Structure formats: structure tokens, C-alpha cells
Amino acid sequence: MKQVIIVRKDLKWGKGKLCSHVAHASVGAVRKSKEEIIKKWEREGAKKVVLKIRNLKELKKIYKKVRDTKIPCFFVRDAGLTQLKAGTVTCLAIGPVEEKKIDKFTGKLKLL
């Protein structure tokens, strides 16, 4: 079991903001998950992997494929109060789910 968070690399933002958005994404996707999946994931160590992607177009392409499979996923959009425009999509969390299911969509992406 694992969760993957995919972060856009084309944005100009600070490391702290990036980290907080990764956390928002993780929590958002977990909230969409079934309780028994969450418990299993937590028993196995709650594995999370943060990956990078070039831009919004590529992120949306992965999102559409994942969404069609009913795997829990969550887009983070910025509120626009500091470094980014309101509504800017910054990252996507997928899962938790079995690793083989998630790797079909994210297996070729690089670590952040």
C-alpha cells in the first residue's frame, strides 16, 4: 500500500509552500478513502512518495486516468493569498491503494 503525491515543477514557489501543499494533498486523498484501506495502509507504515511532473497538462492527464479507475485522488488548488494566483493547481495525491495499481500511472515519474 502507498500514496503518491505529484508536484508541478513549472511553478515558482517556496519550499515551505510546496511542503504544505503536499500535506494538503495527502490529507485530502486520505479523506476520500475507505476506512479499511486507511487502516491497512497505516498498519503497513503509511508509505508516501512525492514525485514531480513538468506541468499542469501532464498532471491533468494522469488525474483523468486515475479518476476513471475510482482510486481516491485529490487536486490541491492554491487560495491565492501569497505566492500563486487563486485556483492554481499545484499537486495531486493518489491513494492510498495497492502499489501495483498506483504504479501503472506513476511508475515512470521521478522523485521530487
Residue-range domains of the chain with CATH: 2-111 (3.40.1490.10)
Q: Which three cell numbers stand for residue 12?
A: 515558482
Residue 26 Cα distances to 38, 72, angstroms: 12, 11
Q: Kindly state the helix (H) or strand (E) to which residue 96 belongs, with its residue range.
A: strand 89-97
pLDDT at 36: 97
User: How far is 29 from 4, CA to CA, in rounded Å?
Assistant: 10
pLDDT at 81: 86
76 pairs with which residues across the strands? 91
- Residue 25: pLDDT over 90: yes
> What confidence tens digit (pLDDT) does each residue in 26-63 have?
999 999 999 999 999 999 999 999 999 999 999 999 99
> What confidence tens digit (pLDDT) does each residue in 54-111 have?
999 999 999 999 999 989 999 999 998 889 999 999 999 999 999 999 999 999 999 9
